[in-house]
Chains A and B, each alone.
Chain A
Amino acid sequence: MTEVRERTSKGVTAIYRHPLLVRATHWVNALCLLVLLLSGLQILNAHPAFYWGEVSHFDRPFAAIEATTAANGDLKGQLTVAGARLDTTGVLGASKSGGDQLQARAFPSWATLPGYLDLGAGRRWHFAFAWVLVINGLIYLGFALGTGRTRAMLKPTREELRGLGRSVLDHLRLRFAHGEEARDYNILQKLAYLAVIFGLLPLMLLTGLVMSPAMYARLPVLADLFGGRQSARTIHFLVASGLVSFFVVHVAMVIAAGPVNEMRSILTGWFVIRREKP
């Protein structure tokens, strides 16, 4: 990796943290994940139950979202996970979803693409953006691995790994590095980005492929690795939830660490590390 460009003007020192290709693939990736999440929940609405293994044991799902009718005739939404029941009326199982009355619907209309129930359309969006995600991801990986960016910016050092505990505490106290200290990613950042790029996103792709009956015929070994088609489907959802959690923390950290500087760096590439006092 070539030296990171640095410039100082009017007492403000900034580094060129993200080249155009990284910024572009970051935002394409963000759009893809949003569309994939919403269209994925649309698809899930067709059968909102999860199982472990190759097939669906309809009478004993690992998790399920259902609509039930209460004693007084009211519609209720219910989430069951590993035997535990949770009333989720209004969000999961039964929601108004744009109407006046509660209706039986696993995920509400604001969480699905399209907002109305349409499995075919959900699949169309999902597979189209899955292609964009994969092609975009390959472009990013080719660049990041090829230029040494991954090694230079994301590879944790031994020293950093030893300081992991302290970094966790710093984050919990909402103490963030600023200035010169923020020139490099901290250890938690590195681990989170590595987990997403080389763990969660590849897992999404592979579990998705196992669900395709055609790809399954080509890759039965992959299916076995995940414990069967229905396990792959369950893992696909769990990893998607992991990505949503990453997104929530990622945005929270951007806001906590200084949203202007962070947004500037992912929009223009320039990340300010020092301001001279006038």
Chain B
Amino acid sequence: MSGSDPTRRLLLGGALTGAATGLAACDKLAASPQVNERLNLAEGMNFHVQRLLLGRNALAREYPESAIAPDFRANGTTNPDSEDYQAHVADGFKAWRLEIGGLVERPLSLSLDELRQAPARSQVTRHDCVEGWSSIAKWKGATLGPLLDRAGVKPQAKYVAFFCADTLELTLDGTGDYYETIDLADAHHPQTILAYEMNNQPLPVAHGAPIRLRLERQLGYKMAKYVMRIELIDSFAKLGQGKGGYWEDRGYQWYAGI
């Protein structure tokens, strides 16, 4: 054993130098577009494997009302400061209308009251934030699938885009406006609703008044708040920076089921 002491020192020294070089190289690797393209292959695998395992309609767990959390956090924008939005808040969203357009046979324009009369669903579900925390709340809203059927989705439509009243980043070209896209399978999931109530109260401004999307089998950033307009589209390449959502444009995954 005594003879291997210098070797030991050499090995240790080598390991430490290697680690230091490795750390510096890591950030270079992490910023490389080629590397990121390879890493993105995993997102495709996550999407396809999870779709295969889940099927279209497996439901997210629902809880009794007693499980509702008293400390549900509001993330992202908690009060959009645009004049238009503040005017809606001031008159209790009486003049607000939800537009459903794009690749549909019959574009819809619905007031909040009309939306409340549409087929609805209540659900007590868990909200998982991409940051890592979870919370439980009760949501009530119009099921998205029947609304889309009413508008008549054209065969070439592939995605549903949600355009929101909140601007998280001020830009000249509007790429800082919040938007999200989901595919038609998720749009027709029975738990996918346009929620106008949270915990038996009208949806508070901090949580996306007058409506927010609930997409129960994915992470919170997919569930757009302050939805103003819905469009059926065949591709999201021309929206924002082309990645399918505000956070996706900033590096988050489009598929957020994991």
Contact = CB atoms under 8 A, between A and B. Distances in A.
A217 interface: yes
A259 B4 contact: yes
Interface string A242-255: 00000000000001
Contact of A46 (B45, B46, B132, B135): B132
A141 interface: no
Interface in B45-92: 45-46, 50, 53-54, 58-61, 67, 69, 71, 73
Contacts of B45: 131
B7 A260 contact: yes
Interface in B12-48: 12, 23, 26-27, 30-31, 36, 38-43, 45-46
Nearest to A56: B133
B1 interface: yes
A143 interface: no
A49 B133 CA distance: 8
A49 B73 CA distance: 15
Contacts of B131: 46-47, 119
Tell me the dominant secondary structure on chain B's binding face.
mixed
A255 B126 contact: no
Contacts of A215: 50, 53, 257-258
A125 B30 contact: yes
Q: Chain B contact residues (Cβ within 8 angstroms of A): what range?
A: 35 or more
Given A212-B257, A260-B4, A56 B23 contact: no
Contacts of B126: 54-55, 213, 229
Interface stretch (B99-107, B150-158, B213-221): B213-221
Contacts of B23: 110, 115
A43 interface: yes
Contacts of B54: 214, 217-218
A230 interface: yes
Given A47-B131, A127-B258, A216 B1 contact: no
Interface in A13-59: 38, 43-44, 46-47, 49, 51, 54-59
Contact of B135 (A56, A116, A217): A56
Tell me the dominant secondary structure on chain A's binding face.
helix
A115 B258 contact: no
B254 to A, nearest CB: 11
B174 interface: no
A258 B4 contact: yes
B214 to A, nearest CB: 12
B211 interface: no
A54 B67 CA distance: 10
A121 B27 contact: no
Nearest to A228: B134
A160 interface: no
A114 interface: yes
Interface-centre pick from B42, B135, B217, B251 (highest chain A CB count, 10 A): B42
Given A214-B217, A223-B61, A229-B128, 11 more contacts: A38-B26, A47-B132, A47-B133, A58-B71, A114-B31, A124-B39, A128-B41, A131-B45, A214-B54, A217-B58, A229-B134
Closest 7 interchain pairs by CB? A214-B257, A120-B251, A114-B30, A128-B42, A47-B132, A56-B133, A212-B258
